[in-house]
């Protein structure tokens, strides 16, 4: 089944820690490198290079346990990325659940304490540090971006900034989908314009349309794109009640 983001998703196990599966010979099929998938793959590769990481992976997730592979810098990392779902635990899952990054510069005893099955498995795969960043806009949670390194050590402030920037680009790409990712020059702002009005408009549209918050984000951006109007203008119209997205005409009349 395909999620709205066009990636294949599968339901996660019921949460019990599975037997560790060391059969990494089973190949993980990666989506073809074009469109959104290609962009996300490139994002993982670029981020891995910028952060001197042995791999960067990305997964899409929902609050009720559905998850799907989104992208990875390489096949080995794709398998490492899957480990958190195999075992139902890990810094990546925690980052998504608690809506904040989980930064583990050293997979030591405290990591083994928190994630007793995941930690040895990911360590066996050569990983010594994991930095997990939720992909989210407020309460709209899309997934997680995971940075793996083969040596212990913190991310520098610059590297942290780059990782957060990559997470923001991933969110924007996931929200905009296939249509606008190929050249990226549509002039649409990233999903993280800092104004309060944008986020207020998201909440309003969510209620107007009776959809999820993530869907509301997509619909606002789609409206801006379709009408050729800047996002901040559309946002201002929504917040001032000049524009309702549950009515068919752009001027708000039904």
Partner 1 sequence: MSTVSAERLARIFVEVADTMVDEFDLIEFLQMLADRTAGLLDGSTVGLMLADPKGRLRFMAASDETTGLLELFQSQGSDGPCLDAFRTGEPVVNADLRIATSRWPRFAPVAASIGFRSVHAFPLRLRQEVIGSMGVFGTETGDIGGTDVQIVQALADVAAIGLLQHRTISRSEALTEQLQGALNSRIVIEQAKGAVAQAHDITIDAAFTRLRAYARSNNRRLSDVAHLAVTDLGSLQGLAGF
Determine if 39 is a binding residue for partner 1 (CB under 8 A). Answer: no
Single out the residue of 177, 166, 179, 90 nearest to residue 135, CA to CA: 166
**Helices marked H in the chain — which ranges?**
35-50, 75-87, 91-98, 109-114, 118-124, 157-176, 196-209, 213-227, 231-239
Determine if 102 is a binding residue for partner 1 (CB under 8 A). Answer: yes
Determine if 164 is a binding residue for partner 1 (CB under 8 A). Answer: yes
- For residue 75, give both structure tokens: 């096949």
How crowded is residue 80: how many other Cβ atoms within 10 Å of its Cβ? 23
DSSP labels, 166-186: HHHHHHHHHHHTTTTTSS--S
Determine if 195 is a binding residue for partner 1 (CB under 8 A). Answer: yes
The SS3 call for residue 236 is helix
- For residue 35, give both structure tokens: 């469109």
- For residue 173, give both structure tokens: 């790409």
Q: Residue 56 or 204: which CB sits closer to partner 1?
A: 204
Provide, rounded to whole angstroms, the least separation between the CB of residue 238 and partner 1. 8
Please identify, among the stretches 14-22, 143-151, 160-168, 225-233, the one whose residues bind partner 1 according to the rule CB under 8 A.
160-168
Q: Residue 44 or 102: which CB sits closer to partner 1?
A: 102
Provide, rounded to whole angstroms, the least separation between the CB of residue 43 and partner 1. 18
Binders of partner 1 among residues 138 to 157 (CB under 8 A) are 138-140, 154, 157
Determine if 38 is a binding residue for partner 1 (CB under 8 A). Answer: no
Dist. CA 62–CA 143, nearest whole Å: 7
Dist. CA 174–CA 61, nearest whole Å: 12
Among 40, 199, 218, 219, binds partner 1 (CB under 8 A): 199
Among 55, 88, 90, 101, binds partner 1 (CB under 8 A): 101
Determine if 103 is a binding residue for partner 1 (CB under 8 A). Answer: yes
Among 3, 202, 223, 243, binds partner 1 (CB under 8 A): 202
Provide, rounded to whole angstroms, the least separation between the CB of residue 156 and partner 1. 10
Please identify, among the stretches 43-51, 67-75, 76-84, 197-205, the one whose residues bind partner 1 according to the rule CB under 8 A.
197-205
For residue 223, what are the contacts with CB-CB under 8 A and spacing of at least 6? 234, 245
Among 1, 25, 109, 196, binds partner 1 (CB under 8 A): 196
Q: What is the CA radius of gyration of the chain?
A: 19
Number of residues that bind partner 1 (CB under 8 A): 36
Can you give the binding site for partner 1, defined by CB under 8 A?
63, 98-105, 134, 136-140, 154, 157, 160-161, 164, 194-196, 198-208, 213, 239
């Amino acid at each position: 089944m395909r999620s709205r983001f066009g990636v294949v998703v599968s339901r996660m196990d019921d949460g019990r820690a599975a037997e560790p599966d060391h059969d990494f010979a089973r190949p993980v099929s990666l989506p073809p490198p074009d469109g959104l998938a290609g962009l996300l793959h490139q994002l993982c590769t670029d981020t891995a290079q910028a952060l001197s990481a042995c791999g960067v992976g990305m997964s899409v997730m929902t609050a009720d346990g559905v998850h799907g592979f989104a992208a990875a810098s390489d096949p080995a990392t794709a398998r490492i990325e899957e480990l958190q779902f195999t075992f139902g635990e890990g810094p990546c899952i925690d980052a998504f659940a608690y809506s904040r990054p989980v930064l583990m510069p050293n997979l030591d005893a405290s990591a083994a304490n928190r994630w007793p099955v995941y930690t040895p498995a990911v360590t066996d795969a050569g990983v010594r540090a994991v930095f997990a960043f939720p992909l989210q806009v407020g309460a709209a949670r899309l997934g997680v971006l995971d940075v793996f390194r083969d040596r212990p050590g913190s991310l520098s402030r610059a590297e942290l900034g780059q990782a957060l920037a990559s997470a923001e680009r991933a969110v924007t790409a996931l929200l905009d989908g296939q249509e606008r990712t190929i050249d990226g020059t549509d002039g649409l702002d990233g999903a993280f314009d800092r104004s309060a009005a944008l986020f207020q408009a998201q909440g309003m549209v969510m209620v107007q349309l009776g959809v999820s918050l993530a869907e509301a984000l997509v619909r606002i951006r789609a409206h801006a794109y379709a009408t050729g109007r800047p996002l901040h203008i559309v946002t201002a119209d929504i917040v001032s009640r000049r524009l309702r997205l549950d009515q068919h005409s752009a001027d708000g009349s039904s």
